Amino acid sequence: MDRVALEKTFFELYGNTEEKPALYFAPGRVNLIGEHTDYNGGFVLPCALQYGTYLLIRPNDDNVLRFTTSNFPFRADIPIHHVSQKLGQEWVNYPMGIFEQFTRRLSVPNPLNLSGFDMLFSGDIPNSAGLSSSASIEMVTAFALNDLLGPGMEMIDLVKLSKASENEFIGVNCGIMDMFVIGNGAAGFALFLNCLTLEHKLVPVVLDGFSLVIVNTNKQRGLTESKYNERVEECHQALEALSTHFPARQLGEISYMQFYKIQEVIEDEVIRRRARHVISENQRVLNSVNSLLKGDLQQFGAFMNASHDSLRDNYEVTGTELDTLAEEARKINGVLGARMTGAGFGGCTVNVVKDTVIDEFMERVGEAYHSKTGLIADFYIAIISDGVRKI
């Protein structure tokens, strides 16, 4: 990120005054393992990335919130008292939802003496890649407002506020994982999180001659238009059936052995497979944490492979593009694990690849993927980063 160039754009948009804009950054994230478990009160193991969203922001005296991004042509000037009104499917809804949450939670009207802000967002997270660009925008906005306006919220408050905005304002029934790791990530560590209790700890990721390589399918898909919310409902149905034999608030509270004994109470085979994925994935996260703590990358890679297979067969959220990337990656000697990451139906895979074969990996996987799907994949070497911060 070129701060000088970004500030130049900001001043061209909003004018150069004595008060300089403040700069904030929130990373994207990649989930190493633990997919579709977060909204089921289960375990996840994500990490923050070097890619993310930058925000230049400065107060104005116009009672207007001005939203611009370097990534899309759409921009908006929103009067403060109209902040609760969504603008179709535009990107500005993500930061607008944060403003709406701030004003709602801190009483009304205008509890923070808000006079308006000029804002320029700039992100380097690949579009529609499933690396959580939406949560990155939400968290950078929440962190900046908390810093500039001084309500004194703790990080957990900003995380919960951003999740509420995604659920209530955007209308996506996501869990808390994305916001949590964006707020609490640390360079060199994955975040082991219990999404039910929010207990968490940092787990060192020692790659030692290997790298995390993210591959983007470049298949366009919208999260709210996918079957994400359908899977949430199917998990609710599974929990309702299982709860007749095992009291649980969420599927994540049921161990795999407990599920194995009572799974037949779920009469619908599709719903049973949805539960089987969530509950077995929970166990894979626990096993993966132990593997990383022991420095056993090969075993960790095996759990990644098993995760993808369950997401394909039991949860049915992969699709031709993601399956092709995972299958082709596993053909290469030096790839320890390959799995889809994110909501699915497009987006990315995450792979553990030996450094000496990365060029071969990108060439062979890229060629095979294009041959089979007609799409061109993009490759990113991921660096595990710190969480949201002021720069």
pLDDT tens string 271-283: 999 999 999 999 9
Please give the tally of structural domains in the chain: 1
Render 343-376 in DSSP notation, one character per residue: S-SSSEEEEEEEGGGHHHHHHHHHHHHHHHHS--
In the chain, DSSP assigns E strands to 22-33, 43-59, 64-69, 76-79, 116-123, 189-194, 200-204, 210-216, 335-341, 348-354, 378-382, 389-390
pLDDT reported for residue 225: 52
Mean pLDDT over each residue of the chain, to the nearest integer: 93
386 included as an active-site residue: no
- Please indicate, yes or no, if residue 19 is contained in any of the structural domains: yes
pLDDT tens string 310-361: 999 999 999 999 999 999 999 999 999 999 998 888 889 999 999 999 999 9
Q: Smallest Cα–Cα separation from 330: which of 86, 77, 322? A: 322
d(Cα 369, Cα 346) in Å, to the nearest integer?
Answer: 13
pLDDT reported for residue 1: 79
* Residue of 118, 178, 296, 355 marked catalytic: 178
- Please indicate, yes or no, if residue 101 is contained in any of the structural domains: yes
- Please indicate, yes or no, if residue 174 is contained in any of the structural domains: yes
Render 39-54 in DSSP notation, one character per residue: GGT-EEEEEEEEEEEE
pLDDT reported for residue 151: 82
Tokens coding 317: 């959220």
Q: Is the pLDDT score of 223 beyond 80? A: no
d(Cα 251, Cα 178) in Å, to the nearest integer?
Answer: 19
Under the banding of pLDDT at 50, 70 and 90, the label for residue 80 is: confident
pLDDT tens string 98-155: 999 988 876 544 555 667 999 999 999 876 666 778 999 999 999 999 999 888 899 9
- Please indicate, yes or no, if residue 257 is contained in any of the structural domains: no
Helices (H) then strands (E): counts for the chain: 11, 12
pLDDT reported for residue 18: 85
CA–CA distances in Å: residue 214 to residues 60, 129, 158, 249, 378: 40, 9, 28, 34, 8
- Please indicate, yes or no, if residue 127 is contained in any of the structural domains: yes
Domain boundaries, position 70: 3-202
Pairing mode of beta strands 200-204, 189-194: antiparallel
Residue whose entry in the numeric block shows the structure tokens 């906005």? 141
- Please indicate, yes or no, if residue 35 is contained in any of the structural domains: yes
Residue 192: exposed, middle, or buried by beta-carbon count in 10 A (0-12, 13-18, 19+)? buried
Amino acid letter, residue 272: R
Residue whose entry in the numeric block shows the structure tokens 């950078």? 140
Percent of the chain scored above 90 by pLDDT? 83
- Please indicate, yes or no, if residue 126 is contained in any of the structural domains: yes
Tokens coding 142: 């929440």
d(Cα 308, Cα 324) in Å, to the nearest integer?
Answer: 12
pLDDT reported for residue 172: 83
Write 14-20 long-range contacts (CB < 8 A, 24+).
Answer: 14/58, 14/60, 14/66, 14/118, 14/120, 17/58, 19/58, 19/59, 20/58
Residue whose entry in the numeric block shows the structure tokens 């008292």? 81
pLDDT reported for residue 263: 96
d(Cα 6, Cα 22) in Å, to the nearest integer?
Answer: 12
pLDDT reported for residue 222: 55
pLDDT tens string 227-256: 888 999 999 999 999 999 989 999 999 999
Q: Is the pLDDT score of 41 beyond 50? A: yes
Q: Smallest Cα–Cα separation from 40: which of 240, 200, 269? A: 240
- Please indicate, yes or no, if residue 151 is contained in any of the structural domains: yes
pLDDT tens string 295-315: 999 999 999 999 999 999 999
pLDDT reported for residue 177: 92
The answer to whether residues 274 and 234 touch, using CB atoms and an 8 Å cutoff, is yes
pLDDT reported for residue 224: 41
Question: 210: which strand partners?
Answer: 354
Which CATH number fits the domain that encloses residue 142? 3.30.230.10
Neighbours of 360 (CB within 10 A): 15
CA within 13 Å, CB half, 130: 31
Under the banding of pLDDT at 50, 70 and 90, the label for residue 226 is: low
State whether residue 18 is helix, strand or coil.
Answer: coil
Q: Is the pLDDT score of 169 beyond 60? A: yes
Render 170-206 in DSSP notation, one character per residue: I-----SHHHHHHHH-BTTEEEEEETTT--EEEEE--
